[in-house]
Amino acid sequence: MLMKTRAYIDYNEVHPDHRAIHERLNNWRRWVRDSRSAWTAHPMWRHLQKKEEVERGVCFIPVNSLDGHLLEKAVAALPEKHRYAIRWAYVYKGDPSGAARVAAVSKERLAELIREGRTMLVNRLGMLANQQDL
């Protein structure tokens, strides 16, 4: 019996031209998660988890809130499928089959949407930086 071989899709692959936006999107991911948890956690317990992690020696990467907010606006302005793919890749994570089903695309197209979304963000944020220089 012949079996089909399926091509492996690496959703975490980052093109060298996308390294800078990938780092900014990782900061945005931390910003989204921190801002979301701040609203749900009771003030009495909010910092307890961080205190326990510090005691265990977990390293914290500081979050640039200003850049996180800027990227949130840029991601929100993306076309719907690209926006969902970027949010899934950086914030939601999980099963790619389920994400592809929600986006109504194939798993290969989901990976393409992530790459295209990064490219759109590079172009959009590059234009914003050029406008601020004027």
CATH number of domain containing 78: 1.10.10
112 in any annotated domain: yes
Determine, yes or no, domain membership for 33. yes
Q: Is residue 7 part of a domain?
A: no
Amino acid at 25: L
Reading the block at residue 71, the tokens are 């990227």
Amino acid identity at 47: H
Which residue range is the domain that position 118 belongs to?
Answer: 18-38+62-133
46 occurs within a structural domain? no
SS3 30: helix
Which DSSP symbol is given to 11? T
Minimum mean pLDDT range among 20-34, 76-90, 119-133:
119-133
pLDDT for 81 beyond 90: yes
Q: Residue 39 — very low, low, confident or very high, per pLDDT cuts 50/70/90?
A: very low
75 inside domain: yes
49 found inside a domain = no
Which class for 116: exposed (0-12), middle (13-18), buried (19 or more C-beta within 10 A)?
Answer: middle
Within a domain: 102? yes
Instruction: Find out whether 121 and 79 touch, Cβ atoms under 8 Å.
Output: no
- In this model, does residue 124 exceed pLDDT 80? yes
If pLDDT is split at 50, 70 and 90, which confidence band does 38 have? very low
pLDDT of 34 above 80: no
Q: Is the pLDDT of residue 122 over 80?
A: yes
The answer to whether residue 54 is domain-embedded is no
Average pLDDT over residues 62-78: 92
Q: How many domains does the chain have?
A: 1
At 61 the pLDDT is: 75
The CA distance from 64 to 83, in Å, is 21
Average of per-residue pLDDT across 11-31 = 91
| Banded pLDDT at 126 (limits 50, 70, 90) | confident
Q: Is the pLDDT reported for residue 99 higher than 80?
A: yes
- Place 13 in a pLDDT band, splitting at 50, 70 and 90: confident
